[in-house]
Amino acid sequence: MSKSAKLIVVVVFAIMAIPLLISPPEASMATDYIFDDQALNRVKTQSNDRTTSEQLLVRVVHDEGGPLTGNFSRVNELLSIEASINNDVATNFSLEHNEVYLKRLESPISAWQSAFMTRNKSISESSSWGEVLQPINDEGWCGENANQAEVNAFQATLLMLPKNSNLGVACPQFSGASASQPPQSNELIWFVWLDSSDRPVDWLVLDDWCAELSANSAYIFEPAGVNMLFKEAEQVAKQDLREILPITGIILFCIMMLFFRDLKVTVVTLGSVVLVVGAVIGFLQTCNYQFSVIDGIAIPIIMGVAVDGAFWYKSSSKSRADVRRILLLAMATTVAAISLALFSPIKAQRGLAMVMIFGIILDWVLTRFVLEDFYLASRATEPHMKSFSSHTNQKQKWLWPTALVLLVMIAVTSPPGVEALDIEQFLPEDNESLDEIDELRDIYVIASGTIVFITLDIDTGNEENIRDVLNFRSQFIQHQNLIAFDTGLTQQKLILGIGDTNENNFAALQENTTQSVILSDPWLRIDGDIVGGMIIAIIDGEDSESAYQFLIDTEQLIQENGISGEIGGQLITGIDLAKSFEQTRIIQILAAGLIVLIIAFLMTRVPEKSMRIAVGTIAVGIAVDGLASHLGGRGVNTAPAVLLGMGFAADYLSHASDKMYSWRQDTYARWGAAVTSGLVFLTVSFSEFPPASNTGLLLSLTILISVLLATCLAFVSSNIQFAEDE
């Protein structure tokens, strides 16, 4: 390739990297970037209440502890604080974060105030609870004659006060409760919704806001809940990336200097790595690709792969044509194995696969068309042009099948099962926030349960369709997994959204559907016309198997009633993805092996060689899957490591399946590339972000397994003898 053509390639790569230099992309840990949730996607596009799924929790206690809701003066103080916040709701949320603002705040005290005002009473205009509660409402807010504001107040009490609180007037039917007493609790929670002109919303702003509220009042306001943990996991991942990338660069420099003993080659190779990474990120940014923090895992992986060509061009015994052929085969088989992740139901896996594939291809392009002559010119010796004799030690032939059997044994002995995709997979085990969320789950129903969203298609002019929707609702509300409060006489199921009616017409249904503290508008619209509705249910979030059965039962109910709809929610979607992965993971590994076989055969036209590459790739795949289970838990976050590991195996096996001119030089090239990549991945394994840590550990082990397996294959495919002919 001419110098001018090489320069053009470099300039194109540099232009692709410019967006990264001008405005680095802001990666997010928002659940929208991790997996697709059809129900929530529909809520966000068709509902007027688009923030329904994004409520944050704020835990409230008094500085001095003690009774909160039973202390009338404290209740009045909190009501005043809430009123001042709501009156300022349209202004900036914080002076330091002008783009984020408070969209909505729901609290039990505000709900109580609204309930009392329907009976001409007011907390703010009274001097004691006794004054507000007179005359006594014997049925409370959970009775048959309760108005909508009182029903909302009852719901708020159930959801925003601790589980074992005395409900008082909220529901006198409960044991120990009395209509002459207020709900009793030493703490409560707020539901808070944030919004911003920038997406996704920076929920961490809530930390600053709560700190400011705490400093200016006699109360402690503390952000809580799963959504805040996702944002915390995002910060952990970003901090890891900032720390690991420089370390990775230093490791690459030191290892290449050790193997190459050539400063110029080392610096040029490291510069090419930086150029490729910049081009990948810059180009995808130009294409408006939304980066997730999980995509950051791809950067050190691309850096590790980028040095492969340098070792084979500079250190092996192969000719230019041979190196070109094996690097093209290695790139194609690696990309083929990883490409299956592009069809994953998990959005983050598809994104990670795309970034890695793009990076691997650009690595190959830069090495093949720009750096090839440079590496060949720096070779210490000319390649041998005569291969070894065809004599092969019979004992050495058994290394290959023996290695395959050992890899299969790793898979066979691995523990079964797959972990559900939840927040615990994105934070370190010793993270204090996980302990806090466990405490919150012990105390509050809204934290121990999980919210399930069900969106249903509704034909407002079709009475038969309305009847089917009502039949579904009446059957669905009987499900045993729904969290319910039982007074002994009545049972209150935690289900919100579409209401109930005895008439099969939409007008009656709409009239009997009311707003709640979580869902202000349950209808789905397109161009202003109602096309559907939603139901929000709260189920036990501690039992994943039970939650999965709930999903299956609900899907079956929707089918049996002849209606259409979607089911979603963080835990439900995570469990569904885990079950889907568990059922298809072996098929996915076999499919990746088949693709590698096809690609290898198309490029080599040698069935035996292609079969060995494919069989070895599958063996590595099931072994890595087994290692994931042995090392702490197989899950959807380990799936990319399995496919990527298969890609690396295909890479090394492609090298080893080619003829050898010098056992020493080619082994040096193979192990040099493996040690360099392996140490980079081992560095990643020290990340605090679990997906990066797990991927790094699995890939470092995969590199070791792959290079050992490739060495075993070299004994068979290259027909070598141990005596060097140099």
Chain segment 317-336, per-residue pLDDT in tens: 888 888 888 888 888 888 88
Place of tokens 């089911």: 567
Confidence of residue 129 (pLDDT cuts 50, 70, 90): very high
Q: Are 296 and 27 in contact (CB under 8 A)?
A: yes
Q: Are 342 and 243 in contact (CB under 8 A)?
A: no
Q: Is residue 36 part of a domain?
A: no
Mean pLDDT of the region 690-698: 87
Residue 564 sits in the same domain as residue 619? no
Of 574, 591, 623, which residue constitutes the final position of a domain? 574
Mean pLDDT rounded to a whole number for the chain: 84
Closest CA to 178 of 166, 187, 186: 166
Span of 224-228, 413-417, 547-551 with lowest mean pLDDT: 224-228
Report the SS3 class of residue 689: coil
**Which one has a higher pLDDT value, 432 or 285?**
285
CA R_g for the chain: 31
Helix axes 639-656, 663-684, angle to 10 degrees: 170
**Which one has a higher pLDDT value, 273 or 49?**
273
Residue 453 sits in the same domain as residue 308? no
CA gap 698, 706 in Å, rounded: 12
Instruction: Describe the chain by its helix, strand, coil percentages, rounded to 5.
Output: 60, 10, 30
Q: Is residue 202 part of a domain?
A: yes
What is the number of structural domains in the chain?
3
Confidence of residue 564 (pLDDT cuts 50, 70, 90): very high
Would the CA dihedral through 477, 481, 483, 485 be positive or negative? positive
Report the SS3 class of residue 35: coil
Residue 561 sits in the same domain as residue 587? no
Backbone dihedral region for residue 312 (phi beyond 0: left; psi -120 to 50: alpha; all else: beta): alpha
Q: Is residue 17 part of a domain?
A: yes
CA gap 709, 715 in Å, rounded: 10
Tokens representing 320 are 């230019």
CA gap 654, 227 in Å, rounded: 45
CA gap 259, 311 in Å, rounded: 9
Q: Is residue 479 part of a domain?
A: yes
Residue 548 sits in the same domain as residue 684? no
Q: Are 300 and 680 in contact (CB under 8 A)?
A: yes
Side chain identity at residue 468, one-letter code:
D
Indicate the DSSP class of residue 657: T
Residue 560 sits in the same domain as residue 585? no
Q: Are 178 and 41 in contact (CB under 8 A)?
A: no
Cβ count near 44 (within 10 Å): 16
Tokens representing 256 are 């290449």
Mean pLDDT of the region 572-585: 80
Residue 206 sits in the same domain as residue 168? yes
Chain segment 422-458, per-residue pLDDT in tens: 777 778 888 877 788 788 888 887 776 778 889 999 9
Exposure of 5 by Cβ count < 10 A (0-12 exposed, 13-18 middle, 19+ buried)?
Answer: exposed
Residue 81 sits in the same domain as residue 92? yes
Cβ count near 608 (within 10 Å): 11
Residue 186 has a pLDDT of: 94
Residue 89 has a pLDDT of: 52
Side chain identity at residue 23, one-letter code:
S
Residue 689 sits in the same domain as residue 700? yes
Confidence check: pLDDT of 487 > 60: no
Confidence check: pLDDT of 461 > 70: yes
Helices marked H in 47-107: 72-87
Would the CA dihedral through 603, 314, 678, 248 be positive or negative? negative
Report the SS3 class of residue 493: strand
Confidence of residue 104 (pLDDT cuts 50, 70, 90): confident
Tokens representing 377 are 């010119």
Helix axes 308-315, 226-260, angle to 10 degrees: 10
Of 179, 203, 230, which residue constitutes the final position of a domain? 230
Mean pLDDT of the region 348-377: 90
Q: Are 706 and 656 in contact (CB under 8 A)?
A: no
CA gap 726, 384 in Å, rounded: 9
Tokens representing 525 are 């619209």
Residue range(s) defining the domain that contains residue 269: 3-26+231-414+575-717
Q: Is residue 11 part of a domain?
A: yes
Place of tokens 């056992």: 663
Side chain identity at residue 224, one-letter code:
A
Q: Are 499 and 513 in contact (CB under 8 A)?
A: yes
Residue 224 has a pLDDT of: 82
Confidence of residue 88 (pLDDT cuts 50, 70, 90): low
Cβ count near 512 (within 10 Å): 13
Q: What percent of the chain has pLDDT over 90?
A: 30
Q: What percent of the chain has pLDDT over 70?
A: 90
Sequence-ordered list of residues with C-beta below 8 angstroms from that of 349, at least 6 positions apart, any chain:
341, 636, 639, 640
The continuous run of DSSP H or E covering 62 comes out as: strand 56-62
In angstroms, what CA-CA distances link 491 with 17, 108, 488, 518, 534? 61, 21, 7, 20, 22
Mean pLDDT of the region 276-288: 92
Confidence of residue 10 (pLDDT cuts 50, 70, 90): very high
Backbone dihedral region for residue 263 (phi beyond 0: left; psi -120 to 50: alpha; all else: beta): alpha
Query: Which stretches of 136-279 are assigned E, i.e. beta strand?
Result: 188-196, 219-224
Q: Is residue 423 part of a domain?
A: no
Residue 218 sits in the same domain as residue 235? no
Most confident region among 279-283, 392-396, 693-697 by mean pLDDT:
279-283
In angstroms, what CA-CA distances link 77 with 69, 271, 646? 11, 61, 62
Q: Which residues pair with 535 in a beta bridge?
A: 454, 497
Cα 205 to chain center, whole Å?
21
Confidence of residue 723 (pLDDT cuts 50, 70, 90): very low
Side chain identity at residue 123, one-letter code:
I
Cα 553 to chain center, whole Å?
26
Residue 8 has a pLDDT of: 92
Confidence check: pLDDT of 726 > 80: no
Q: Are 383 and 317 in contact (CB under 8 A)?
A: yes
Cα 26 to chain center, whole Å?
16
Residue 547 sits in the same domain as residue 665? no
Residue 225 sits in the same domain as residue 116? yes
Q: Which residues pair with 194 in a beta bridge?
A: 102
Of 574, 597, 619, which residue constitutes the final position of a domain? 574
Confidence check: pLDDT of 365 > 60: yes
Span of 161-175, 346-360, 435-449 with lowest mean pLDDT: 435-449
CATH code, domain carrying 452? 3.30.310
CA gap 647, 592 in Å, rounded: 9
Residue 15 sits in the same domain as residue 158? no
Helices marked H in 449-604: 463-476, 506-511, 544-560, 570-604
**Which one has a higher pLDDT value, 574 or 616?**
616
Report the SS3 class of residue 104: strand
CA gap 321, 383 in Å, rounded: 12
Residue 345 has a pLDDT of: 76
Chain segment 621-649, per-residue pLDDT in tens: 999 999 988 887 787 677 778 888 888 88
| Reduced 3-state DSSP string for 396-460 | HHCHHHHHHHHHHHHHHCCCCCCECCCHHHCCCCCCHHHHHHHHHHHHCHHHHEEEEEEEEECCC
The upper half-sphere exposure of residue 220, i.e. CA atoms within 13 Å in the direction of its Cβ, equals: 11
Residue 91 has a pLDDT of: 45
Confidence check: pLDDT of 16 > 80: yes
pTM recorded for the entire structure: 0.79
Cα 280 to chain center, whole Å?
21
CA gap 542, 260 in Å, rounded: 54
Q: Is residue 84 part of a domain?
A: yes
CA gap 359, 16 in Å, rounded: 12
Classify each residue of 329-339 as buried b or exposed e, where b means 16 or more C-beta atoms within 10 Å of its C-beta.
Answer: bbbbbbbbbbb
Geometric angle at alpha carbon 382, from 376 and 384, rounded to 5°: 125
Q: Is residue 201 part of a domain?
A: yes
Indicate the DSSP class of residue 371: I
Geometric angle at alpha carbon 706, from 358 and 377, rounded to 5°: 65
